Structure 1
């Protein structure tokens, strides 16, 4: 294990368990809980590729296990839009002021979450093709610019796929492909080394523990309440995006 976390391993383990319990419930959001705790024991430049590796591994395994439940039509719609959006996001990162753009995107995400929490919104389950294209593109742009766009794929899929197993399997494919691409970029940029790989391996049991806690909690939450919690998390993600770029 590297010196990044050896002195405060319990903090790192607890942060990862909490983050992946959330990921297990909603198919995204590991960084929302894990990153703040991990910042106590390692710099952000190490956290981003670390969580990308953990997300890629866990999402790929979940997608493989739930492959029979994957909605291929949703993947065919979202995936090319997400890839195009990431290219746009990386390009925009070179030309747009990151702080102001992050604030605007954060406010946009908060409004999306609030609109889904309004009375009667949960009844509008089916997401149309144009809605999928918009969520894929904007999610890709957010991923390219800020490394975080999974909550928008989740919002669209939650409206399209009311069955939790289909939602989680399909969301895992989207997150898996996105994070594998991010891992490749981090590796090419020299951000991943042997020490960080060892750290990811040592933290892997905390990922599985978080997934176990998430599975137990998911069995106790009704479908309607689960949808409300997901959209509430969307609001939190937007507020954190605003806070990050105001600080």
Structure 2
């Protein structure tokens, strides 16, 4: 098992824990948040936690959220979204092995800023089969490269009932992160060490999820959505600045 200090110093681990706690709370409240908030900041502070360990804990919290909201799951269209994610995850895992650090920072930042911008659009999207296929494909590419692949899916589901949003996004993310981890493992980018590092983050993840449970039906979804988008956009711009 890797030691804490072999990966990062205690102050950086503290930052990682706080970010994972906040992202997990947002994830439990709105169905998105952990990857969008944590991935760009962790890439700057503890890059060893992205994408593998963060994908691992994203999978865990998604299963927990899905179980809580299982009665509201939209099962009819998720198969199309997952098909797109499967193909895109494999392509993204292949591409990640050819990108040097500077270009990866630029790519990650551009993808996250683009996702935040799409989430702010005034266009109204419905979770139709074609829309879910496209959103799933985009999400697979973004999620495998950055652990933050949910903006396209959130955009498609943004006008659904809050419980349906949380359940459907959690179901998609639970299986989607498994696709991404398998794809990364196939090219040597995910293994036992990533799981061990992810285990270190389960405590702040669990605490954040616990806090979100009594608040899930009280905090306005629109407010949470704007917070997540704003934080993600700021972190994405920080990554772009780092790569320039």
Report the TM-score when normalising by structure 1. Answer: 0.74
Match of 2:175 among 174, 177, 184: 177
Match of 2:119 among 113, 117, 133: 113
Report 1:17-56 matches (<5 A): 17-35=21-39, 36=41, 40=45, 43-56=46-59
- CA RMSD for the aligned pairs? 3.4
Report 1:228-247 matches (<5 A): 228-231=223-226, 233-247=228-242
CA gap 1:92/1:184 in 2 versus in 1, 3 angstroms: closer
- CA deviation after TM superposition for structure 1 residue 155, in Å: 1.8
> Corresponding residue for 2:158?
158
- CA deviation after TM superposition for structure 1 residue 187, in Å: 4.5
CA gap 1:74/1:237 in 2 versus in 1, 3 angstroms: farther
For 1:182 and 1:239, the matched residues in 2 are separated by 25
For 2:184 and 2:143, the matched residues in 1 are separated by 14
- CA deviation after TM superposition for structure 1 residue 228, in Å: 4.8
- Partner SS for 1:126: coil
- CA deviation after TM superposition for structure 1 residue 217, in Å: 3.2
CA gap 1:92/1:2 in 2 versus in 1, 3 angstroms: closer
Where does the alignment leave 5 or more consecutive residues of structure 1 unmatched? Answer: none
Report 1:31-180 matches (<5 A): 31-35=35-39, 36=41, 40=45, 43-90=46-93, 98=104, 101-102=107-108, 104-116=110-122, 124=124, 126-159=126-159, 161-162=160-161, 164-180=162-178
CA gap 1:133/1:239 in 2 versus in 1, 3 angstroms: farther
> Corresponding residue for 2:213?
215
- CA deviation after TM superposition for structure 1 residue 50, in Å: 1.7
CA gap 1:15/1:233 in 2 versus in 1, 3 angstroms: closer
Q: Report how many aligned residue pairs link the two structures.
A: 233
Report the TM-score when normalising by structure 2. Answer: 0.75
**1:96-128 CA distance string (max 9 Å, x none):** 965665565445334313324xxxx6xx46344
Where does the alignment leave 5 or more consecutive residues of structure 2 unmatched? Answer: none
